[in-house]
A and B are shown apart, each in its own frame.
Chain A
Amino acid sequence: MKGGLQQLWVYLSTTPLLWLTITLLAYQAGDWLFRRTGANPLCNPVLLSVITIVGLLLVSGTDYHTYFSGAQFVHFLLGPATVALAIPLYRQIDAIKKSLLAIIVALLTGSLTAAASAVGIAWALGGSGPLLLSLAPKSVTSPIAMGIAEQIGGLPSLTAAMVVLTGIFGATFGPWLLDRLRVSDQMARGIAMGVAAHGIGTARMIHLNPVAGAFAGLAMGLNGLATAILLPALVGLFR
């Protein structure tokens, strides 16, 4: 029996099926727990899934390469999903036209603040090189952030982890901070959360207020675009 199990493991661990299935299962379990806890941001499905899968990989002694040969089928969909962000963006076109200038100014301010504060603080605390470049796009939605990291010489996989952690932290403490700063304008609250905490912040704002949620989604998309254009140019300037 023990030999049989070992043989089964040897077989399964070499097919993409196992880790693809585990990825889907972990996400659905995380999503279930997230909804069960009333969308508690600390029970973020991505955070829970990543912790679970990393734990399983470490325990089973599986390397990331083997895991990715299965998970790549999910990963591939990030590209078309990024393209699909054009649709919610287009849905807000009237609101965009109405406050276009204000949105652009707030967005550029936020986009630059996000990258500058991340790099500046990390540098001041002793960070350097690829770490700084991996942290720079941390507030951008991850398909775009990873593309940017790759472009400027960061580590896309490290960036992805930073993006997820940023989103979870921002979603948890952002609304509290905005209350403290007396930012009561729902459009401003949404844009702040979308710029700083991308999709995870957007999900939180949708839960809190529909107007803030819509503008968070808009800000997430536009910030991704703005950062993708600005950051590589800025990094090129400093090189």
Chain B
Amino acid sequence: MLGYITLLLVCQLAGEVIARLFGLPVPGPVLGMVILFVGLVVRGRTPVGLEQVAGSLLRHLSLLFIPAGVGVIVHLHLIASAMAPIAGALTIGTLVTIGVTGWVMQILNRKHAAAAAAPDTEATP
């Protein structure tokens, strides 16, 4: 348990060090995620203990957003004075993103499925 918590922190620390050392435009924890992902691919499986530690962290992922979310209190004036651009970006921007992404993925998947299905139908008698 403690070992796997340490592993997560070591990955984060390594990510932080690499990001700063090479001036990379990626947050340290994200690089840490990549490092751990590569590690899992190399190892070929996720240790049970690591599953448990990650599971308990991610189960309450939304709790971890709260301290930062409360930071909105510092920007109440800014938000009130920029209501229109914020509301527009959050509503229209989010709907456009959902629509475009879902639509593109569905079309690509259909093409992929059609291409995969074609030799299959020929092979079956």
Given contacts A79-B29, A229-B26, contact A27 B71 (CB under 8 A): no
Given contacts A151-B25, A174-B98, A232-B25, contact A122 B74 (CB under 8 A): no
Question: In the complex the two chains form, what is the Cα distance from A225 to B63 in whole Å?
Answer: 21
Which residues does chain A contribute within 8 Å of B71, judged by CB atoms?
64, 68, 156-158, 160-161
- Answer whether residue A173 sits at the interface, using C-beta atoms and an 8 A cutoff: yes
Tell me the count of chain A residues lying within 8 A, CB to CB, of chain B: 111
Q: Are A82 and B99 in contact (CB under 8 A)?
A: no
Contact with B along A126-149 (1 / 0, CB 8 A): 110001000100110011101110
Q: Are B32 and A139 in contact (CB under 8 A)?
A: no
Chain B 78-125 residues near chain A, CB threshold 8 A: 78-79, 82, 84-86, 88-106, 108-110, 112
Which residues does chain B contribute within 8 Å of A90, judged by CB atoms?
37, 40-41, 46
Q: Are A50 and B70 in contact (CB under 8 A)?
A: yes
Given contacts A53-B66, A118-B93, A160-B65, contact A192 B75 (CB under 8 A): no
Q: Are A151 and B27 in contact (CB under 8 A)?
A: yes
Question: In the complex the two chains form, what is the Cα distance from A163 to B101 in whole Å?
Answer: 18
Tell me the count of chain B residues lying within 8 A, CB to CB, of chain A: 73
Q: Are A142 and B68 in contact (CB under 8 A)?
A: yes
Chain A 98-124 residues near chain B, CB threshold 8 A: 99, 101-103, 105-107, 109-110, 113-114, 117-124
Which residues does chain B contribute within 8 Å of A39, judged by CB atoms?
none
Question: In the complex the two chains form, what is the Cα distance from A8 to B64 in whole Å?
Answer: 28
Given contacts A93-B41, A122-B85, contact A170 B66 (CB under 8 A): no
Q: Are B72 and A161 in contact (CB under 8 A)?
A: yes
> From DSSP, what is the main secondary structure of chain B's interface residues?
helix
Query: CB-nearest residue of chain A relative to B32?
Result: A83
Chain A 77-100 residues near chain B, CB threshold 8 A: 77-91, 93, 99
Which residues does chain A contribute within 8 Å of B102, judged by CB atoms?
178, 181, 183, 188-189, 191-193
Question: Shortest beta-carbon distance, B106 to chain A, in Å?
Answer: 4
Which residues does chain A contribute within 8 Å of B88, judged by CB atoms?
121-122, 124-125
- Answer whether residue A75 sits at the interface, using C-beta atoms and an 8 A cutoff: yes
Offer 5 A-B interface pairs, CB within 8 angstroms, sorted by A: A74-B64, A79-B12, A126-B82, A162-B86, A195-B98
